[in-house]
């Protein structure tokens, strides 16, 4: 792989009139990685992708592949290909001719072996003579991927590529896309609003919010220890308590939330003074109708709702201060389901909590609108 395959954005800004879609964005996508831009509709992720592809011109900043500034280059002069949600296959051409289209435009005449190789890569061998209308949505998406990869781009851009597929097929294609990326070693930049999709496939995830990168990192690190309240509630769910730091005790930060004292290890604190969010993921919380294990921290409450979700049951528990906590309980068959109106104690281990900065006076954590996330 050539050293120029790294993608870098330096101070990239895009304005549409008075609206700033992308705001002074600087990031580096490692060579050969699977990189996801994750965010709700309107956050700037698709505009960013279009600037990388050359379909939009930045208002300011540079787009570089390695040390080469490609900002002024037209789309067809960039070593970048894009796979769209709509597939964009030519209906009148066979599958083989669709895949070979880019090679023919470049004047490559002997392309049959390359086409077969690509169809084999995406597990579509034997389909070369068919037309797109004879394929399922998932098969068409594989063909669109083969057509993009046959040109051996330095960077492959994927714009919500699985959005039109049903849930089962989408999950299957997530695994396939990651397998293909690992096999070909090309840098993939994947734009999506689907948190599960980003976490399943990407080596690195960048969560975008209002044209900026809210947090960037490995999916497991960002989920386990989010950097902001927005990320905590966008990448999965979090229970966030409005709290205030009251001091230190050895390696722990002491906080108070709604009249109760809690401790959080300092290694799990992104803020250690003033007003903070005390956060715990729903699956790290437990429910008890009896004694709480030694060393656990707790809140008493009342079950207000339960939703069976297959592998787990989601319980909503109203805390004494009126907010509802979300708790995921595995359906292991060990304990009987809890009825609505049951009095329970929600408890967790201190090392499973985290502290995040909280603006003074803010008592409700910011979170993307659910309709936006699903858009």
Query: Does residue 170 register a pLDDT over 90?
Result: no
* % of the chain beyond a pLDDT of 90: 79
pLDDT of residue 372: 40
Looking at the DSSP assignment, which residues form a beta bridge with residue 158?
83, 190
321-326 mean pLDDT: 96
Among the listed ranges 95-99, 107-111, 123-127, which one has the minimum average pLDDT value? 107-111
pLDDT of residue 84: 84
Taking only the tens place, the pLDDT of each residue in 272-314 is 999 999 999 999 999 999 999 999 999 999 999 999 999 999 9
Taking only the tens place, the pLDDT of each residue in 120-168 is 999 999 999 999 999 998 899 899 999 999 988 999 999 988 887 888 8
pLDDT of residue 3: 45
CA distances from 199 to 178, 192, 202, 320 (A): 11, 11, 6, 34
Query: Does residue 365 register a pLDDT over 70?
Result: yes
Closest CA to 9 of 66, 62, 71, 79: 62
Q: What is the DSSP string of 103-130?
A: HHHTT----HHHHHHHHHHTT-TT-TTS
pLDDT of residue 166: 84
Among the listed ranges 91-105, 216-230, 315-329, which one has the minimum average pLDDT value? 91-105
pLDDT of residue 368: 55
Among the listed ranges 37-46, 50-59, 270-279, 333-342, which one has the minimum average pLDDT value? 333-342
CA distance 106 to 150: 12
CA distance 329 to 346: 11
Query: Does residue 257 register a pLDDT over 60?
Result: yes
Predicted TM-score of the model (pTM): 0.88
Query: Does residue 371 register a pLDDT over 50?
Result: no
Backbone angles phi, psi at 132, to 5 degrees: -55, -35
Closest CA to 113 of 83, 153, 150: 150
8 Å CB contact between 123 and 172? no
Mean pLDDT for the chain? 91
Query: Does residue 25 register a pLDDT over 60?
Result: yes
Confidence of residue 367 (pLDDT cuts 50, 70, 90): low
b/e 64-92 (16+ beta carbons within 10 angstroms → b): bbeeeebbeeeeeebbbbbbbbebebeee
Q: Which of the pair, 288 or 333, is modelled with greater confidence?
A: 288
8 Å CB contact between 235 and 282? no
CA atoms within 13 A on the CB side of 143: 31
pLDDT of residue 87: 76
């Amino acid at each position: 792989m050539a050293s120029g395959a790294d993608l870098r954005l330096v101070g990239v800004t895009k304005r549409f009139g008075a609206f700033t879609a992308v705001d002074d964005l600087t990031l580096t996508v490692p060579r050969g990685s699977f990189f996801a831009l994750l965010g709700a509709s309107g956050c700037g992720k698709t505009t960013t992708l279009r600037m990388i592809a050359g379909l939009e011109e930045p208002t300011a900043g540079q787009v570089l592949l390695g040390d080469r500034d490609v900002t002024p280059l037209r789309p067809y002069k960039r070593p970048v290909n894009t796979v769209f949600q709509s597939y964009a296959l030519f209906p009148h051409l066979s599958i083989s001719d669709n895949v070979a289209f880019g090679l023919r435009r470049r004047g490559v005449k002997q392309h049959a072996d390359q086409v077969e190789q690509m169809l084999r890569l995406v597990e579509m061998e034997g389909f070369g003579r068919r037309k797109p209308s004879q394929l399922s949505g998932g098969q068409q998406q594989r063909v669109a991927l083969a057509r993009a990869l046959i040109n051996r781009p330095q960077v492959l851009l994927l714009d919500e590529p699985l959005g039109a597929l049903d849930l089962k097929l989408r999950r299957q294609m997530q695994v396939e896309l990651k397998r293909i990326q690992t096999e070909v070693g090309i840098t993939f930049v994947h734009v999506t609003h689907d948190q599960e999709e980003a976490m399943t496939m990407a080596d690195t995830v960048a969560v975008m919010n209002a044209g900026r990168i809210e947090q960037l990192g490995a999916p497991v690190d960002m989920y386990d220890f989010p950097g902001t309240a927005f990320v905590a509630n966008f990448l999965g769910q979090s229970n966030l308590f409005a709290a205030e730091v009251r001091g230190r005790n050895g390696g722990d930060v002491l906080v108070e939330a709604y009249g109760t004292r809690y401790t959080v290890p300092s290694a799990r604190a992104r803020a250690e003074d003033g007003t903070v969010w005390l956060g715990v993921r729903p699956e790290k919380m437990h429910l008890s109708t009896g004694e709480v294990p030694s060393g656990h921290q707790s809140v008493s409450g009342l079950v207000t709702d339960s939703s069976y979700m297959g592998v787990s049951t989601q319980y909503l528990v109203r805390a004494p201060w009126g907010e509802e906590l979300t708790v995921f309980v595995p359906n292991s068959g060990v304990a009987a389901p809890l009825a609505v109106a049951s009095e329970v104690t929600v408890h967790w281990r201190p090392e499973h909590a985290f502290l995040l900065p909280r603006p003074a006076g803010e008592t409700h954590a910011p979170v993307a609108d659910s309709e936006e996330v699903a858009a």
